Amino acid sequence: MVEEKHTPLFDVIEVRKEFPILSRKIYNKELVYLDNGATSQKPKVVIDAIEKYYKEDNANIHRGVHHLSQVATDEYEQARTAIQKYINAPTSSEVIFTAGTTASINTIAFSFGELMNEGDEIIISAMEHHSNIVPWQLLCERKKCILRVIDINDEGELNLAHFDELLNERTKLVAVTHISNTLGTINPIEAIIEKSHNVGAKVMIDGAQSIQHLKIDVQALDCDFFVFSGHKVFGPTGTGILFGKKEILDAMPPYQGGGDMIAKVTFEKTTYNELPHKFEAGTPNISGGIALGVAIDYLSKKDLDAIHSYEQELQTYAEQEILKIEGARIIGTAKDKTSVVSFFIDGLHPFDVGTLLDKQGVAVRTGHHCTQPLMDFFEIPGTIRASFAFYNTKEEVDVFIKALKRSVNMLK
């Protein structure tokens, strides 16, 4: 890599060395990975943890009396505690391992949904990921509940006045994303949580795009649920977290039945295990959970505030350069946004641009980003999205912009 021209807030050159994949080449060009909103790359410590687990510690957890089973159980539970501390959950029993954000939301939609009645209302927003839309639609069909959607403005910000109109005593749950994966908008979740609690509604925050960028404190936020995926926070795929307040989780019936989630099984009646196991049926992704703990430990040693400013710097710089291209339009211009630059170039299909960028070693995402209703709102088929992580550099943005200009010239 060339030397940094600006003053870095932390040593990005050193950080990059921790991610083996960043030094690989694509079509003989240096990889410029700007698809962090889809999944993040993994530091060596995370990759090593998975390998170590299978080489040295592999056994099933919470079951065996033998040594390896106890080692595996300890490591898995230590990971849970690391995650609990990181998000400042009151207890580790409120931190449930899942397969990802989607799995966490479906668990809540089913189990919390069992406590809902006909005519109860759920509020989401117009910028939600499909995985924070469809589970609620399924619940509404099953329980005859009503789904309400908070409008957004042309900048891609939530219309809080509209939210006030939607909120009422029938609202049982408000489920909104902390940061939009398509627009980068940071939503005012503190205000949303407070307003919701004022009418007695519970709040679920989709943290899939915020856990890797902002410091999360679930007690300070006072959210009832906070969910995220491991793979977007430098951990493995197939892992995720569902944080829920104990009294709410206790009131909810289990989602899936099976091993580990029971206290006693007879054919007449089964009693359920205590939290968090009540929501963890079957053998989990043990190596994944352990490695997610390692990823969270890794992140906890970084200065998140410095990372946040640095990523915003990259995003602002990219936006400024993209706007110099004729016909370019940024989708998502919220005052409070981070790490995501979605854009559209008049007359060009995002997919064609993305394909040409790929040939130049630049990985971006094109399409609707699992937010089709949002694309309908902006009346576009999709966007080109560059999404940043703290290992990206200003020089990479330069490579991206140069490649983008070449692509646009080839297509025009």
Ligand X SMILES: *Cc1c(COP(=O)(O)O)cnc(C)c1O
Q: How far is the CB of 39 from ligand X (least distance, A)?
A: 8
Helices (H), 167-281: 189-198, 218-221, 246-251
Q: How far is the CB of 131 from ligand X (least distance, A)?
A: 4
Q: How far is the CB of 227 from ligand X (least distance, A)?
A: 8
Nearer to ligand X, 92 or 182 (CB): 182
Ramachandran region, residue 85 (left: φ > 0; alpha: ψ -120 to 50; beta: rest): alpha
355 token code pair: 């394909």
Neighbours of 8 (CB within 10 A): 16
Using CB under 6 A, list all residues that contact ligand X: 100-102, 129, 131-132, 177, 181, 206, 208-209, 229
Q: How many whole angstroms separate alpha carbon 353 and alpha carbon 357? A: 6
Q: In b/e form, how buried is each residue of 322-360, taking b as 16+ CB within 10 angstroms?
A: beebeebbbbbbbeebbbbbbbbbeebebebbbebbbeb
Give the number of C-alpha atoms closer than 13 A to the C-alpha of residue 205, restricted to the C-beta side. 29
Q: How far is the CB of 204 from ligand X (least distance, A)?
A: 11
Q: How many whole angstroms separate alpha carbon 252 and alpha carbon 250? A: 6
Nearer to ligand X, 131 or 196 (CB): 131
87, β-bridge pairs: none
Nearer to ligand X, 226 or 403 (CB): 226
Q: How far is the CB of 132 from ligand X (least distance, A)?
A: 6
138 token code pair: 């399924």
Q: What are phi and psi of 385, to 5 degrees?
A: -125, 120
Nearer to ligand X, 52 or 215 (CB): 215
Within 8 A by CB and 6+ apart from 210, the residues are 178, 179, 186, 216, 228
The alpha carbon of residue 396 and the mean position of all alpha carbons in its chain are separated, in whole angstroms, by 23
- Which three-class secondary structure state does DSSP give residue 234? coil
Nearer to ligand X, 308 or 369 (CB): 369
Q: How far is the CB of 40 from ligand X (least distance, A)?
A: 11
Nearer to ligand X, 375 or 401 (CB): 375
Q: How far is the CB of 321 from ligand X (least distance, A)?
A: 25
- SS3 of 339-367: the string is CEEEEEECCCCHHHHHHHHHHCCEECEEE
Which member of 140, 145, 223, 370 is catalytic? 370
Dihedral angle sign, alpha carbons of residues 325, 327, 331, 334: positive
Nearer to ligand X, 371 or 393 (CB): 371
The alpha carbon of residue 153 and the mean position of all alpha carbons in its chain are separated, in whole angstroms, by 23
Residue 370 a catalytic site member: yes
Catalytic residue list? 370
